[in-house]
């Protein structure tokens, strides 16, 4: 099953999901067992990817907010400057 993890992650994940459903339902898996180490690694990976996505969005929002403040201050200063009237 490790070979499938390396060669076709989608098929591996579908197979693992089916086995986990069977374990949850207390069904017998015969001689096969879930690929626990890779399942754990994938779950941790999903969490890290989500965290990175949130961090990236926060950086974008911070940058946009900073740009908006600069534009607002610039417009305010231009209105206050008597030479611009």
20-61 pLDDT per residue, tens? 999 999 888 888 889 999 999 999 998 899 989 999 999 999
Compare 85 and 63 and report the one with higher pLDDT.
Answer: 63
The two structure tokens encoding residue 3: 């070979």
Residue 14's nearest CA partner among 4, 23, 29 is: 4
Residue 12, class by beta-carbon neighbours within 10 Å (0-12 exposed, 13-18 middle, 19+ buried)? Answer: buried
**pLDDT value for 85:** 58
pTM of the shown model: 0.57
Highest-confidence range of 20-24, 54-58, 72-76, 81-85, by mean pLDDT? Answer: 54-58
> pLDDT grade, residue 84 (50/70/90)?
low
Task: List the chain domain ranges.
Answer: 1-34, 48-85
């Amino acid at each position: 099953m490790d070979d499938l993890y390396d060669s076709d992650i989608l098929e591996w994940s579908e197979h693992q999901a089916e086995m986990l459903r069977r374990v949850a339902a207390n069904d017998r898996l015969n001689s096969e067992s879930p690929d626990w180490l890779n399942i754990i690694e994938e779950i941790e990976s999903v969490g890290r990817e989500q965290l990175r996505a949130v961090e990236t969005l926060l950086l974008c929002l911070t940058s946009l907010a900073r740009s908006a403040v600069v534009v607002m201050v610039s417009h305010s200063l231009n209105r206050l400057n008597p030479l611009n009237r």
